[in-house]
Structure 1
Amino acid sequence: MLAGFPGLYSLLIFSLVLNLTVGVDVGCQNWTPSGKNYVCCTSCKPGNRLVKRCGYDPAELCKPCEPGTYITGTDFSCDICTQCIGIQFVAKNCTSSSDTVCGCKPGFRCGDAKCSHCVTECKKGEEPKGRVCGQCPEGKFSDKIHSTCKEWTKSSCPDGYKLKKGNLTSDSTCIPPPSSSVRTVTEQETLPVISKEKDEMNWLPVLIAAMIAGLALLCIILSVVAYVKAQNKTKKKAKTEQGNSDDSTIMVVEQEHCSFHHPEQEQGGSSQSINTENSESKLIV
């Protein structure tokens, strides 16, 4: 098709070389032939605005946006970069091909996709109402940050189960009876392990108490044995002292008895001695 337009062919070659050597970010990116030696731009390079639709030189059809402006398509004008103000902060700077990206300070969040403004971030139990938050009404809950309140879903429970009313942050739930044997598979698998650990923990204080009781009993036995030995020793000592006292009494009685008869013996002896002396005198005479 370009064979019938030798001048246009040369112009395209020149424009390609110009784009490769002078600057690839300036000018038209895609164009189509239009008339004799004319081209019409279908899309500009990123960050370039359209100066005129058709012309001889594709590089002259588009120009870069001025500082502080940007463009995202093929148009004749660039838009002014967004300014982040107030509780916003700049998350990404503006370029010739993209607008500024704003963010919101902690406690707030973007109010729309472009984050053109910030709204208060709602906590659990609250829901957004415009740019502020409102508490969930009775019968509704919100278990996620900055989410819409939802209706309580549990309205009835199986036989034996008790319905626990929901609150601002949680849904209604069914609570099994205390003696219920209903368990999930996970609970059934972990129950033996838990029971074993509980049994070991329950035996530990019993073992300690038994050891303490055994030591106490041993101390009592030793105390009783020592007391019995002491009593026996005291009794033996008392008996020994009593025996010694009786012997002394007998000796005293015997001595007194001997002293009682001794004068008579002495008297009898005196008479005998007198008679003996008389007899001896008579013999001598």
Structure 2
Amino acid sequence: MRNLPEDMLWASLVFAVLVAVFSGPGSCCDPQEYRTQAGECCPMCHEGTFVQSDCTPFSGTRCRPCDSGTYMNQPNGLKKCFSCSSCVADNGLLVWQKCTNKTDTVCDVLNGFFCKSLAEDTGCSMAEKHKRCTAGQRTKEPGTDRIDTECEDCPMGFFSHFGMNCTRWTM
């Protein structure tokens, strides 16, 4: 047998260590798997469920449905589901779509409010009451569920007691 030069021997040893480290358990899981704390790759749980116990050499991942008030909207390797969002009426929000085990609550705004923060999947997360125009102003554009009321000052020779419409002064 031929002796390898010392540099090649070291290179071979480093390569072997790298292969062992990067191809060992848990190095790179498939997209449908998650890595456990022990570094093993286990099949993910489906939407609406979470991991009750990790897989073993003898059994697959044990998944459990999300409890009431929680949801899971993606395949996962998590130990608990996400808490459902609340639509608090005191904050100008109402439930548009109830939380299910696969989807979060979707909120919308109550009458008299507009949405300040809108998320594509969960609806409105922050609402604000429409502003009221003050005396000497009129409502230029009424507020909607997405924009606030727009006010403007009454022109010279007009007045407004309640911030609604401008009325001409009479003598």
Pick the TM interval, shorter chain: 0.3 to 0.5
TM-score norm. by structure 2 comes to 0.45
Q: Which has the higher contact order (CA 8 A, sep 6+)?
A: 2
Task: Point out the structure with the larger helix share.
Answer: 1
Task: Point out the structure with the larger strand share.
Answer: 2
TM-score norm. by structure 1 comes to 0.29
Larger Rg: 1
